[in-house]
Amino acid sequence: MSDKIKIGVIGASGYTGSDLVRLAVRHPDIEITALTANSHAGKPMHKVFPHLANLGLPDLVRNQEVDWSTVDAVFCGLPHATSQEVIAALPSHLKIIDMSADFRLRDAGTYKQWYGVERTQHELQKQAVYGLSEHYRKDLATARLVACPGCYPTAVLLLLLPLVRQGLIDASDLIIDAKSGLTGAGRGLKQNTLFAEAGEGMSAYAVANHRHAPEIEQELSLVVGQDIVVNFTPHLVPMSRGEFITAYARLADGVSAADCQQALEAAYADEPFVYMAPDGVIPGTQFVRGSNKVMLGVFEDRVPGRVILMSTLDNLVKGSAGQALQNFNIMFGLQETKGLQQVTLFP
């Protein structure tokens, strides 16, 4: 009998769900026993994603058709406002790693304001641990429900939290320029992500109104001890995957860009996935594509007293499915890098 951890993936027909399957199928301690996708129920996985053929995967089924008593952990890749009800109906023995937004925002009022629906599962929210792996590792180790961060917050917070925590930059004066590949918009058909609309161009979206902004503010505010508001603008760029953050910050008195560099190096010196760009290298999405890595960079601004900070990751891996798998490893006491040792796909 297999002693592997049996997992299910809810919402396996989306980009995040399918990337989770791609990673998990080579994890030495995982057996994928259930894949759900109500709109594709009854189909083999390779009919939806041909690149996942010949892997011995179970067919896609509806959520209610799964015998959850035979499953140990569930990854949930459903849209926001859907996950909370589905997760509430799952048996209590399951460990749950949610890749949606339903449990990321701790305040119910903030969730309703930004997502337009009521939070119904207040008790589950109390159990949820925010899944920024490098900063919540201790809490994740004993969690039953993990709310994985959004892709933008992952890139931004890994870059800024160590600097804000040490008071090296002014958290009240942050300008965050964010860019994402088109998979960040999901797999559903949308006019602005059609090739003819998105190719050979770049555009901003959700200007001053992106749902990841309050998530970033929530975590920064916790560290600072007061409410923080950031200037955050996201953009779509014509590539399938990847994310790039440029943050402009005011340095604290007497602090230099070199101090920020040293602080980030020290904060992530023992981390397997977060690292500084080598000397003379400017971070780029091509250096992390397909991997669970995050590359950071620090540059002195020409404007006195300011610093330019950069962060890049693959939005489907470290920004979603990869971080979810990293959190799974932490929850089950496994080596954190298991199933996530892919080297960057370059070029």
Tell me if 333 is assigned to some domain: no
Asked whether residue 112 falls in the same domain as residue 156, the answer is: no
Structure confidence by residue, pLDDT tens digits, 28-76? 999 999 999 988 999 999 999 999 999 999 999 999 999 999 999 999 9
pLDDT value of residue 182: 87
C-alpha to C-alpha distance for 331 and 313, rounded to whole angstroms: 23
Quick: pLDDT tens for 328-345: 999 999 999 999 999 999
Question: Average pLDDT, stretch 261-288?
Answer: 97
Q: Any idea of the CA torsion for 78, 79, 81, 87, to the nearest 10 degrees?
A: 10
208, part of any domain: yes
Q: What pLDDT sits at residue 226? A: 96
- Same domain assignment for residues 161 and 308: yes
Same structural domain for residues 299 and 168?
Answer: yes
- Give the pLDDT confidence score for residue 2 in this predicted structure: 64
How high is the pLDDT of residue 186? Answer: 74
Of the listed ranges 79-83, 137-141, 204-208, the one predicted with least confidence: 79-83
Question: Number of C-alpha atoms within 13 angstroms, CB side, residue 210?
Answer: 28
**Catalytic residue IDs:** 151
Say whether pLDDT at 190 is over 60: yes
**Do residue 123 and residue 200 come from a single domain?**
no
Q: Any idea what the CATH number is for the domain that residue 38 is in? A: 3.40.50.720
Q: What is the DSSP string of 34-64?
A: EEE-GGGTTS-HHHH-GGGTTS-PPPEE-GG
> What is the C-alpha radius of gyration for the chain, rounded to an integer number of angstroms?
20
Q: Is residue 27 part of a domain?
A: yes
Residue 265 shares a structural domain with residue 175: yes
| Percentage of residues in the chain having pLDDT higher than 70 | 99
* CA-angle at 325, arms to 30 and 35, nearest 5°: 60
- Mark whether 41 and 175 lie in a shared domain: no
* pLDDT the model gives residue 243: 97
Helix, strand, coil: what percent of the chain each, to 5? Answer: 35, 20, 45
Phi and psi of 258, rounded to 5°?
Answer: -60, -35
Looking at the structure, do residues 198 and 289 belong to the same domain, yes or no?
yes
With cut-offs at 50, 70 and 90, classify the pLDDT of residue 1.
Answer: very low
Average pLDDT over residues 251-271: 98
- Could you tell me if residue 135 is inside a domain? no
The rounded percent of the chain whose pLDDT value lies above 90 is: 91
- Please report the pLDDT score of residue 201 as a whole number: 87
Q: Are residues 75 and 167 located together in one domain of the fold?
A: no
Give the closest residue to 243 by CA, choosing from 299, 323, 317, 139: 317
Q: Does residue 106 lie in a domain region?
A: yes
Asked, for residue 320, whether it belongs to a domain, the answer is no
> In this structure, is residue 32 part of a structural domain?
yes
Quick check: is 310 in a domain? yes
Show the domain range for 57. 5-127
Report yes or no: 252 and 303 within 8 Å, Cβ to Cβ.
no
Residue 165's CB: how many other CB atoms inside 10 A?
16
73 and 198 housed in the same domain: no
CA distance 256 to 92: 50
How high does pLDDT run on average in the chain? 95
d(C-alpha 322, C-alpha 315), whole Å: 9
Same domain, 106 and 192: no
CATH number at residue 234: 3.30.360.10
| Structural domains counted in the chain | 2
Whether residue 12 has pLDDT greater than 50? yes
CA distance linking residue 257 with residue 277, whole number of Å: 14
